[in-house]
Amino acid sequence: MMATQSSIDMLQIAAAAADGKGAEDQVALDVSEPLPLVDIFLMATGRSERNVAAIADAIEEKLLEAGHKCLRREGRTEARWILLDFGDLVAHVFHQEERSFYALERLWKDCPVVPIDLPATRPAD
């Protein structure tokens, strides 16, 4: 089983929203084989609790605007690891320390990477 086009479209919206708030090291994994209820995990890193919260808020806002409902949200109070569950897409927004400690990429290393197409950034004038 592979991630659906709908899930990939959701990923692109979420990744662009995260990028707009300064998310770093975005990685998407196709977890549809081991997890039949989820297609893609998006992982992104923020530099501070405030940045982590802003990234998660932007992802949720843009996906809501696109018609996707957040089914579950966890970790918003501490803003060290926020999980946003949109059904086919689960976004994990980490603080740098939590991302290193939990190392989800290592845990899911057998899952294929899903390419993320971010909008080109303009060079500084």
Give the domains, in start order, of the chain with CATH numbers.
Answer: 5-107 (3.30.460.10)
Does residue 31 come out as left (phi exceeding 0), alpha (psi in the -120 to 50 range) or beta?
alpha
Determine the Cα–Cα distance for residues 54 and 21; give it in Å rounded to an integer. Answer: 7
pTM attached to this predicted model: 0.91
Own/partner pairs, 109-114, CB within 8 angstroms, 24+ separation? 110/34, 111/29, 111/30, 111/31, 111/33, 111/34, 111/41, 112/29, 112/30, 113/27, 113/28, 113/29, 113/30, 114/3, 114/8, 114/11, 114/28, 114/29, 114/30, 114/40
What pLDDT, on a 0 to 100 scale, did the predictor assign at position 71? 97
**Could you tell me which of 36, 42, 81, 37 has the C-alpha nearest to residue 63?**
42
How do the pLDDT tens digits run along the chain, 125 residues long?
A: 688 999 999 999 999 999 999 999 999 999 999 998 999 999 999 999 999 999 999 999 999 999 999 999 999 999 999 999 999 999 999 999 999 999 999 999 999 999 999 877 544 44
What pLDDT, on a 0 to 100 scale, did the predictor assign at position 121? 58
